[in-house]
């Protein structure tokens, strides 16, 4: 039985309940004096506690997917990178920071920049990390972000050139440091660019949750936070005002892990004229609600419609397919989204295109996503068109 299988969980729960029952039943017989009764009572207590704790830990792991297989539980991780395969048969010196009231890009807190893992050296040789705050005029939100600028951004021959953009999105409740330190996004981008496996690209790292601690799931909540508006309108406007990045959508893509992966797919399928390419590492295929999200879809006659439009498989089956290209990932053992990933891929139809990365083994954690991030970013680099316009 697999570590996250329901049969194992139910079996351990049954054994725990049985042990509790047997302990209660046999306790009078173990109440005497002497070595054997004492050892019997200790054995009953330890066995009962062990089975109960095992059931609790298995339930928590099944819900959160900290470990997907027995091998991962004992520390045997496969660290080989994933491989992208076709799933459908279709073919300056940083930001111009404006500290005034009207500035859309403002200086951010520097904490965490040192954890990005970039090599030491001048920006024109190793690139640069910046911490900024994005001001959203439409959404009325302000969100922190990290920006990775490739070495070419600072080189003389590129001084008027605009660059493609990857918007890297965290899961909940992760922050920008999760992308920089744990997922190693800037370090991976630097390595791929230096090896000519990815064109010089600006990478923006941020959380989609603009009303923390609430999980807004990239949704424009009726009467609440406007997360989709922030990501599809405010963020592009701000970045284009502060950096030399492409003005056309063909230079933009979204990439994320966990709920950030779901968000990336949502952006590409709902707003393909803003993000025509998306990569989702262990993403889901619909937005649900729970205690962390609160009410995302409002009440009344339009609630069901709004909920359905955030169900990606429903969209593919009931709405025109978007002109978008996506990459989705899962694993044969350890990931809970494998079945839904297959359903999603089966529903994709032209003009939409989809590729996949299915690992033999992996689970819902950074150990798995670090195996996927390099091929995912290399894939993304092939989808983005290097801007032909120049900075006037």
CA distance 249 to 262: 20
- What's the confidence (pLDDT) of residue 100? 41
92 neighbors 84 (Cβ within 8 angstroms): no
Choose among 213, 231, 203: nearest CA to 291: 213
Token pair belonging to 374: 């390099």
Neighbours of 154 (CB within 10 A): 19
97 neighbors 105 (Cβ within 8 angstroms): yes
Q: What is the percentage of the chain residues whose pLDDT exceeds 70?
A: 88
Sign of CA dihedral 177, 181, 183, 188: positive
Helix orientation angle between 6-26 and 35-64, rounded to the nearest 10 degrees:
160
Choose among 246, 84, 224, 64: nearest CA to 167: 246
**Model-level pTM?**
0.77
Higher-confidence position of 32 and 340: 340
Start-to-end CA span in the chain (Å): 62
C-alpha distances (whole Å) from 368 to each of 62, 126, 316, 360, 365 are: 16, 27, 28, 11, 6
- What's the confidence (pLDDT) of residue 66? 56
Is residue 1 over pLDDT 80?
no
pLDDT tens for residues 73-126? 655 544 556 566 666 543 344 555 443 445 899 988 887 788 788 888 999 999
- What's the confidence (pLDDT) of residue 174? 80
Choose among 316, 388, 319, 310: nearest CA to 354: 316
CA distance 324 to 352: 5
Is residue 290 over pLDDT 90?
no
Q: What is the mean pLDDT of residues 285-302?
A: 89
Is residue 133 over pLDDT 80?
yes
Taking each continuous run of H as one helix and of E as one strand, the counts in the chain are: 13, 10
- What's the confidence (pLDDT) of residue 363? 87
- What's the confidence (pLDDT) of residue 99? 39
Neighbours of 1 (CB within 10 A): 12
Token pair belonging to 86: 């076709």
- What's the confidence (pLDDT) of residue 372? 96
């Amino acid at each position: 039985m697999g570590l996250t299988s329901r049969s194992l969980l139910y079996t351990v729960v049954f054994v725990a309940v049985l042990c509790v029952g047997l302990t209660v039943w046999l306790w009078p017989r173990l109440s005497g004096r002497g070595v054997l009764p004492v050892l019997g009572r200790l054995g009953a207590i330890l066995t009962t506690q062990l089975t109960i704790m095992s059931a609790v830990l298995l339930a928590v792991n099944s819900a959160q997917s900290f470990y997907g297989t027995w091998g991962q539980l004992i520390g045997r991780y496969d660290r080989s990178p994933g491989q992208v395969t076709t799933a459908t048969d279709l073919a300056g010196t940083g930001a111009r920071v404006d500290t005034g009231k009207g500035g859309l890009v403002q200086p951010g807190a520097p904490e965490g920049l040192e954890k990005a893992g970039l090599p030491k050296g001048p920006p024109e040789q190793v690139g640069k990390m910046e911490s900024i705050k994005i001001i959203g005029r439409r959404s009325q939100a302000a969100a922190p972000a990290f920006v990775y600028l490739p070495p070419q951004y600072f080189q003389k021959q590129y001084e008027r050139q605009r660059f493609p953009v990857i918007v890297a999105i965290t899961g909940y409740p992760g922050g920008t440091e999760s992308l920089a330190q744990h997922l190693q996004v800037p370090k991976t981008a630097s390595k791929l660019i230096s090896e000519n496996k990815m064109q010089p690209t600006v990478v923006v790292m941020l959380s989609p949750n603009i009303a923390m601690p609430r999980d807004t799931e990239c949704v424009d909540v009726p009467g609440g936070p406007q997360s989709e508006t922030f990501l599809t309108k405010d963020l592009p406007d701000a970045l284009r005002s502060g950096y030399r990045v492409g003005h056309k959508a063909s230079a933009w893509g979204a990439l994320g892990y966990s709920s950030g992966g779901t968000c990336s797919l949502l952006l590409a399928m709902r707003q393909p004229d803003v993000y025509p390419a998306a990569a989702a590492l262990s993403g889901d295929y619909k937005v649900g609600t729970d205690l962390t999200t609160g009410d995302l879809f409002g009440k009344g006659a339009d609630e069901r419609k709004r909920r359905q439009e955030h169900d990606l498989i429903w969209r593919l089956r009931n709405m025109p397919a978007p002109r978008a290209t996506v990459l989705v990932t899962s694993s044969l053992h350890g990931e809970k989204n494998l079945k839904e990933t297959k359903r999603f891929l089966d529903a994709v139809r032209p003009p939409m295109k989809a590729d996949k990365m299915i690992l033999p083994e992996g689970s819902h954690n950074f150990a798995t996503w670090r195996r996927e991030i390099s091929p995912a970013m290399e894939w993304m680099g092939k989808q983005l068109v290097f801007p032909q316009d120049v900075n006037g």
